[in-house]
Amino acid sequence: MKSGLWARFQAGFEPRKSRNAALAPASGLRAGASEQASLKWARARKNFRIAKLFRIAKLFRIAKTFRIVVAVAVTIIGALDVAVAAPPMPPRRAPVKTFGTIRRLSLAQARKIALERSPQMHLAAAKLSQSRAGLSESQKRVALRANGGVDPIEGRVKYYVTLDLERLFALNNTERQTARLGVQTGEIGAQEATQATQRGVTVAWYGLRRSEQAATAAQRYRATAHALHVSSDAKFRGGQGQLSGVLASLRGTWEADAALETSRQAVLLACLDLAQALGYATAEECEEALK
């Protein structure tokens, strides 16, 4: 049975005469069998034509589906092309223009301003002045005065004449030694305040310089990332690159933008630290210094 169907299928691709000869009933068969074979052959030929039409219709459906898929792909690529288009280059805002007054200070100028405005220096100078005043007062004090008691003019307790002279001198020397020690302590405190102020200003000044260098490097990295994205986008438009490369370069530009903004904020914070180290305490003073 299978071989008979295969012979009929092969006969469908042969010329009409050879097909009829191949499918014609053998000699000696009855007339009814011949007519039945002819009807079967007619049905097979009809089914073959119908199958061919179905194949053609299937091909048309495949072509239509392919056309729809191509249209959708073109739409998606167009949308992605708009999405990954090269972003506009941001304006070149050099970080040097921000807080230019305080950032143009040299290290020597910053130290000089800090020594003039530092609260620690003012406090140490006040203590030293007080100690020196006490020493001067102890040196000028008159130890002996007739009719001891409280002097109504100076308001101080005077020693009695009956006190031992050596004991009186010993008390005066002890007072002066204490005053001298106070002066020495004040001088040491002033030196420590000077060193601490200069150290704080130096750290803040170099911190600002490092922040500026980081901001400059971030700005260069931003320009490089933008150039790479423009190049990859141009290659993709020309059919030489891939969409993944364009997306990767776009992500690089976003990361470069974030790094640049972070570095600019670091510069601003470093300026505020330097202003605080210089002794600008109030908001008005900081605003005046950070112009």
Query: What single-letter amino acid sits at 82?
Result: V
Looking at residue 25, what is its pLDDT? Answer: 47
Q: Are residues 153 and 68 in the same domain?
A: no
**pLDDT tens string 118-131:** 777 778 878 888 77
Q: Are residues 74 and 197 in the same domain?
A: no
pLDDT band at 288 (very low <50, low <70, confident <90, very high): low
pLDDT band at 90 (very low <50, low <70, confident <90, very high): very low
Looking at residue 131, what is its pLDDT? Answer: 79
Query: CB burial class (10 A; 0-12, 13-18, 19+) of residue 119?
Result: exposed
Q: Are residues 13 and 128 in the same domain?
A: no
For residues 43 and 189, the model is more confident at 189
Please say whether the beta carbons of 159 and 144 come within 8 A. Answer: yes
Query: What single-letter amino acid sits at 225?
Result: A
DSSP string, 128-187: HHHHHHHHHHHHH---B-SS-EE-TTT--EEBPTTS-HHHHHHHHHHHHHHHHHHHHHHH
In whole angstroms, give the CA distance from residue 221 to residue 94.
Answer: 14
Q: Are residues 26 and 155 in the same domain?
A: no
| Residues forming beta bridges with residue 97, ordered by sequence position | none
Looking at residue 174, what is its pLDDT? Answer: 73
Task: Please check whether residue 46 lies inside any domain of the structure.
Answer: yes
Looking at residue 70, what is its pLDDT? Answer: 67
Q: By residue range, what is the domain housing residue 60? A: 2-83
Looking at residue 7, what is its pLDDT? Answer: 57
Task: Please check whether residue 90 lies inside any domain of the structure.
Answer: no
Task: Please check whether residue 266 lies inside any domain of the structure.
Answer: yes
Q: Are residues 10 and 112 in the same domain?
A: no
In whole angstroms, give the CA distance from residue 187 to residue 194.
Answer: 11
**pLDDT tens string 54-69:** 677 777 777 777 777 7
Domain stop point among 50, 83, 116 = 83
Please say whether the beta carbons of 225 and 255 come within 8 A. Answer: yes
Please say whether the beta carbons of 8 and 44 come within 8 A. Answer: yes
In whole angstroms, give the CA distance from residue 35 to residue 38.
Answer: 5
Query: What single-letter amino acid sits at 199?
Result: R
Q: Are residues 48 and 106 in the same domain?
A: no
Distances (CA, A) of 124 to 61, 138, 186, 199: 95, 21, 7, 16
Q: Which range, 42-51, 187-196, 277-286, has the best average confidence (pLDDT)?
A: 187-196
Domain stop point among 29, 58, 83 = 83
Would you say residue 143 has pLDDT above 60?
no
Helical spans, DSSP H, in the chain:
2-11, 16-23, 31-83, 100-103, 107-117, 119-140, 165-237, 243-278, 283-289
Q: Are residues 116 and 256 in the same domain?
A: yes
Looking at residue 125, what is its pLDDT? Answer: 79
| Residues forming beta bridges with residue 150, ordered by sequence position | 157
Domain stop point among 24, 57, 83 = 83
Q: Are residues 65 and 100 in the same domain?
A: no
Looking at residue 34, what is its pLDDT? Answer: 67
Task: Please check whether residue 88 lies inside any domain of the structure.
Answer: no
Q: Are residues 76 and 165 in the same domain?
A: no
Task: Please check whether residue 221 lies inside any domain of the structure.
Answer: yes
Please say whether the beta carbons of 270 and 103 come within 8 A. Answer: no
Task: Please check whether residue 89 lies inside any domain of the structure.
Answer: no
Looking at residue 29, what is its pLDDT? Answer: 46
pLDDT band at 142 (very low <50, low <70, confident <90, very high): very low
Looking at residue 61, what is its pLDDT? Answer: 75
**pLDDT tens string 204-245:** 899 888 988 898 889 888 888 888 888 888 888 877 777 777
Would you say residue 155 has pLDDT above 60?
no
Q: How far is C-alpha 157 from the chain's CA centre?
A: 71
Q: Are residues 73 and 116 in the same domain?
A: no
**pLDDT tens string 159-192:** 544 445 555 566 667 777 777 788 888 888 888 8
Would you say residue 146 has pLDDT above 70?
no
The CATH number for 228's domain is 1.20.1600.10
> What are φ and ψ of residue 158, in 5° steps?
-100, 150
Q: Are residues 178 and 38 in the same domain?
A: no
The domain total for the chain is 2
Task: Please check whether residue 169 lies inside any domain of the structure.
Answer: yes
Q: Are residues 192 and 260 in the same domain?
A: yes
Query: CB burial class (10 A; 0-12, 13-18, 19+) of residue 46?
Result: exposed
Task: Please check whether residue 78 lies inside any domain of the structure.
Answer: yes
